[in-house]
């Protein structure tokens, strides 16, 4: 089981595992997933204390998997065990009129697929800031929250300016899900500062750069297209190119390996812990290829060590020559709106 440090209260009545099980990998972009093997893997993760799930309405069968998982646990262990599960879904609508009926239908679909009467956390995404109807959607979602169909409201991939606009409209946002890694540190500064000021926490993804920020790529030549065989690897290789390129990335991996050796852990553990320790970060989403690879044993070690001042200084030294992705790409989520 995980240590107590692996858990955090996102809200007073919402305790989460800080290593969230990311379900993007069931969307189809990472190969086929066997539903029965996936269900078994979900139960194993839960039994080891990895109780918090990140998913979305457009991640293929992810919401249906949560529904099947809940039914299986309730059947074999009783309804009470369902209190220990936290499942955070997303709504990612196309821009357009955001009437109450449009919002009602979307939420009702997620409730039905997940087999719940209330969504623990609904993370809202909006593609086009020039269309201000995202505020209509969030107003209706807040009404549904007040009515009890949504427990808490959150965002995904909103930039600092629009997060502030939403908060200033009186909509209670508890978290914003953003890309954040030792390569992509755009959330540092304005986003983290606003979150700390307004009581919003960050849930981060891309923290392992799709698997590139691991021991697997230490000392390896720059991968070609055939080796970048998942959507995540392709996406984050482009991010590394913008950040400073493969040679600089190898320098970062070497530094992380030295630190990992001190603590008897992996490069991935060091990369995740480095982001967990950043201001305003509540949790890191670690992708699980259910029934294929879940890195259960490795992910447990994230919570079994702490950085020294020397570790922190060495990481910062390895990053000092990298390019400023905030200048190159823009604020959090801007890559999805260009």
User: What per-residue confidence (pLDDT) applies to 236?
Assistant: 95
State the Cα–Cα distance between residues 279 and 267, nearest whole angstrom: 21
Residue 225 has pLDDT above 80, yes or no: yes
pLDDT > 70 in the chain, percent: 97
- Answer left, alpha or beta for residue 8, where phi above 0 means left and psi between -120 and 50 means alpha: beta
Would you say 38 and 304 are in contact if contact means Cβ atoms under 8 Å apart? no
User: What per-residue confidence (pLDDT) applies to 189?
Assistant: 83
pLDDT tier for residue 29 given thresholds of 50, 70 and 90: low
CATH number of the domain to which 166 belongs: 3.20.20.100
User: What per-residue confidence (pLDDT) applies to 259?
Assistant: 98
The number of domains in the chain is 1
Would you say 251 and 258 are in contact if contact means Cβ atoms under 8 Å apart? no
| Nearest Cα residue to 263 out of 210, 302, 214 | 302
Query: Is 15 within the bounds of a domain?
Result: yes
Query: Is 256 within the bounds of a domain?
Result: no
Query: Is 97 within the bounds of a domain?
Result: yes
Query: Is 14 within the bounds of a domain?
Result: yes
pLDDT tier for residue 254 given thresholds of 50, 70 and 90: very high
Q: pTM above 0.85?
A: yes
pLDDT tens readout for residues 139-178: 999 999 999 999 999 999 999 999 999 999 999 999 999 9
Query: Is 222 within the bounds of a domain?
Result: no
Query: Is 67 within the bounds of a domain?
Result: yes
Range of the domain at 290: 9-210+274-300
State the Cα–Cα distance between residues 68 and 61, nearest whole angstrom: 10
pLDDT > 90 in the chain, percent: 87
Query: Is 262 within the bounds of a domain?
Result: no
pLDDT tens readout for residues 263-293: 999 999 999 999 999 999 999 999 887 756 6
pLDDT tens readout for residues 56-96: 999 999 999 999 999 999 999 999 999 999 999 999 999 89
Average pLDDT rounded to a whole number, residues 98-111:
98
pLDDT tier for residue 26 given thresholds of 50, 70 and 90: confident
Residue 319 has pLDDT above 60, yes or no: yes
pLDDT tens readout for residues 181-223: 999 999 998 999 999 999 999 999 999 999 999 999 999 999 9
Query: Is 122 within the bounds of a domain?
Result: yes
User: What per-residue confidence (pLDDT) applies to 199?
Assistant: 98
User: What per-residue confidence (pLDDT) applies to 37?
Assistant: 86
The DSSP secondary structure of 91-146, one letter per residue, reads E-PPSS---HHHHHHHHHHHHHHHT-SSEEEEEE--S-TTSTTHHHHHHHHHHHHH
């Amino acid at each position: 089981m995980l240590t107590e440090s692996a858990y955090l209260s996102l809200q007073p009545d919402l305790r989460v595992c800080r290593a969230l099980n990311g379900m993007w990998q069931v969307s189809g972009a990472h190969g086929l997933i066997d539903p029965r093997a996936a269900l078994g893997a979900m139960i194993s993760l839960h039994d080891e204390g990895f109780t918090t799930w990140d998913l979305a309405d457009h991640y293929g069968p992810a919401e249906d998997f949560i529904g099947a998982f809940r039914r299986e646990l309730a059947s074999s262990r009783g309804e009470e065990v369902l209190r220990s599960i936290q499942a955070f879904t997303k709504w990612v609508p196309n821009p357009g009129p955001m009437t109450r009926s449009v919002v009602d239908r979307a939420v009702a679909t997620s409730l039905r697929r997940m087999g719940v009467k209330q969504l623990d956390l609904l993370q809202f995404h909006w593609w086009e800031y020039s269309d201000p109807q995202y505020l209509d959607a969030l107003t209706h979602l807040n009404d549904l929250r007040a009515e009890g169909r949504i427990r808490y409201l959150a965002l995904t991939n909103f930039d600092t300016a629009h997060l502030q606009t939403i908060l200033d409209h009186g909509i209670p946002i508890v978290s914003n899900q953003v890309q954040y890694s030792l390569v992509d540190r755009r959330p540092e500064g304005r986003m983290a500062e606003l979150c700390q000021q307004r009581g919003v926490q960050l849930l981060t993804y891309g923290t392992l750069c799709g698997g590139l920020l691991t021991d697997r790529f230490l000392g390896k030549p720059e991968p070609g297209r055939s080796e970048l065989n998942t959507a995540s690897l392709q996406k984050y290789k482009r991010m590394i190119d913008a950040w400073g390129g493969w040679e600089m990335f190898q320098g970062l991996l070497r530094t992380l390996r030295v630190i990992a050796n001190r603590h008897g852990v992996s490069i991935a553990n060091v990369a995740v812990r480095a982001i967990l320790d950043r201001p305003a970060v509540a949790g890191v989403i670690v992708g699980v290829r259910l029934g294929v690879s879940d890195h259960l044993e490795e992910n447990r070690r994230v919570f079994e060590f702490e950085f020294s001042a020397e570790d922190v200084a060495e990481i910062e030294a390895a990053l000092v020559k990298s390019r400023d992705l905030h200048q190159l790409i823009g604020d959090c989520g801007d890559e999805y709106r260009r």
